[in-house]
Amino acid sequence: MKNKILGIIGGGQLGRMTALAAAKYGIECHIFDPDHNAPAFQVCSKSFINDYEDLKAIEEFSSGVDAVLYEFENIPLTSAKYIEKFCLLRPSSFILSVSQDRLIEKNFLWDKAKVKTAQFYKCSSYEDLENSFHEIKGLSVLKTRRFGYDGKGQIKLDKHSNLKEVWETIGSDELILEEFVPFKRELSIIIARDDQGNVKLYETVENKHKNHILDQTIAPAPNISNDTKSKAKSIAIKIATELDLIGLLAIELFELNNGELLVNEIAPRPHNSGHWTMDGCITDQFEQAVRATMGMELGNTEIIFSVVMQNLIGEDITIADKYINDSNSRVHIYGKKEVRPGRKMGHINHIKFEI
């Protein structure tokens, strides 16, 4: 294999684990992040400490690599399109544009991919909010269209909610109102697609949240029926194909009591619910993202061990030492300088040595 260079936009834990995976294949990484403390800078060969809007720096960065992937969705679309002038961006800026905006994403999922999500309404004015709230009738969730993650930019509404107050609190007119889904549990599936259109899927997993942040992923999802598994796969393939994906895509799903699956959201990058693959699969999600982005053949996604992935959030990191010598556990620490409440500091994969 010829020496190649991968560019990564974003120097958080996802960028860091992607760079470590790339190193296994002898691929160097250049990482771009405005924060000089970004943990991925510890494991890359070149750091670009610049703002994402700095097109001159973006040009220098993308001219020096073979292909670029991003580890989060909130980079300016102009910068993403600019990267495409100099090298491959995988997934493409089109896919980024779909995933950056909940309204565009949901319209895409219904109209193009033909998969179902919760009912939703565009809210650009107070009147829109009143009308859609009355349309939904029951519980609903008001979300900002952009820049929301880990439950940020979301307000749950019920019949007692004071809409005027909610409208003022949220302070944006780029919103959607979604019906609240009384789901049985939350699942996710990760798909990789290469530049020839070949796909590889990981097992569907169950995700448990605490304070709106992923706490645990159980892989594979316990007691999942074959029917649900094949529905999840078919949803993932439809979305990836319709997006013309090259790279990795995570799909968050709500499983309903009647067995139906609704798509919550999509993320065109390695995903927290895929961290279990590092110790549970033949090829993990980070290696797979590198392979798809660099035009290599996709790796085998078969499960070798069932895993419970435990996120270490904030002070949870202090328990990591206890598991360092536990032969059923693999500890992954992200090298972040400062512990903050709600900050993802690491994770532990608890492995069951049988499937």
Contact between 33 and ligand AMP (CB under 6 A)?
A: no
Q: Which is nearer to ligand AMP, 178 or 203 (CB)?
A: 178
Which residue among 178, 206, 279, 287 contacts ligand AMP (CB under 6 A)? Answer: 178
Site for ligand AMP in 121-150 (CB under 6 A): 141, 148
- Region of 40-48, 163-171, 180-188, 226-234 interacting with ligand AMP (CB under 6 A): 180-188
Task: Give the whole-angstrom CA distance, residue 218 versus residue 203.
Answer: 10
Query: Which residues have CB under 8 Å from 149's CB, separation 6+?
Result: none
Nearer to ligand AMP, 151 or 335 (CB): 151
Which residues does residue 29 pair with via DSSP β-bridges, in sequence order? 6
Contacting residue, 186, 194, 203, 206, with ligand AMP by CB under 6 A = 186
Cα 152 from Cα 51, distance rounded (Å): 23
- Among the candidate windows 38-46, 81-89, 108-116, 176-184, which touches ligand AMP by CB under 6 A? 176-184
Closest by alpha carbon to 77, among 7, 30, 9?
9
Sole window of 87-95, 174-182, 304-312, 337-345 interacting with ligand AMP (rule: CB under 6 A): 174-182
From residue 223 to residue 252, the character string flagging contacts with ligand AMP as x (rule: CB under 6 A) and all else as - is: -----------------------------x
Is 151 one of the binding residues for ligand AMP (CB under 6 A)?
A: yes
Contacts 24+ apart (CB under 8 A), 315-324: 315/339, 315/341, 316/345, 317/345, 317/346, 320/346, 320/348, 323/348
Q: How far apart, in whole angstroms, are the C-alpha atoms of residue 57 and residue 83?
A: 10
The three-state secondary structure class of 231 is helix
35 φ/ψ angles, rounded to the nearest 5 degrees: -90, 115
The DSSP bridge partners found for residue 184 are none
Q: Assess 265 for contact with ligand AMP (CB under 6 A).
A: yes
- Contacts to ligand AMP from residues 67-126, by CB under 6 A: 118
209 makes contact with ligand AMP (CB under 6 A): yes
Q: Which of 24, 212, 322, 352 binds ligand AMP (CB under 6 A)?
A: 212
Size of the site for ligand AMP (CB under 6 A): 13
- The residues that bridge with 201 in the sheet, in sequence order, are 191
Quick check: 181 binds ligand AMP (CB under 6 A)?
yes
Measured distance CA(307)–CA(352) in Å, rounded:
6
DSSP string, 180-222: PP--SEEEEEEEEE-TTS-EEEPPPEEEEEETTEEEEEEESPT
Minimum distance of ligand AMP from residue 113's CB (angstroms): 17
Instruction: Specify the residue, 62 or 188, whose C-beta has the smaller distance to ligand AMP.
Output: 188
CB neighbours of residue 301 within 10 Å: 20
How far apart CA 347 and CA 130 sit, in angstroms, is 42
The residue type of 176 is I
Give CA–CA dist 149/269, Å, rounded: 14
Q: Which is closer to ligand AMP, CB of 79 or CB of 99?
A: 99
Please count the residues of the chain. 355
Taking contact as CB under 6 A, which single stretch among the options 5-13, 177-185, 195-203, 333-341 is the one that binds ligand AMP?
177-185
Per CB under 6 A, does 253 bind ligand AMP? no
Smallest gap from Cβ 100 to ligand AMP, in A, equals 13
The residues of the shown chain that bind ligand AMP, judged by CB under 6 A, are 118, 141, 148, 151, 178, 180-181, 186, 209, 212, 252, 264-265
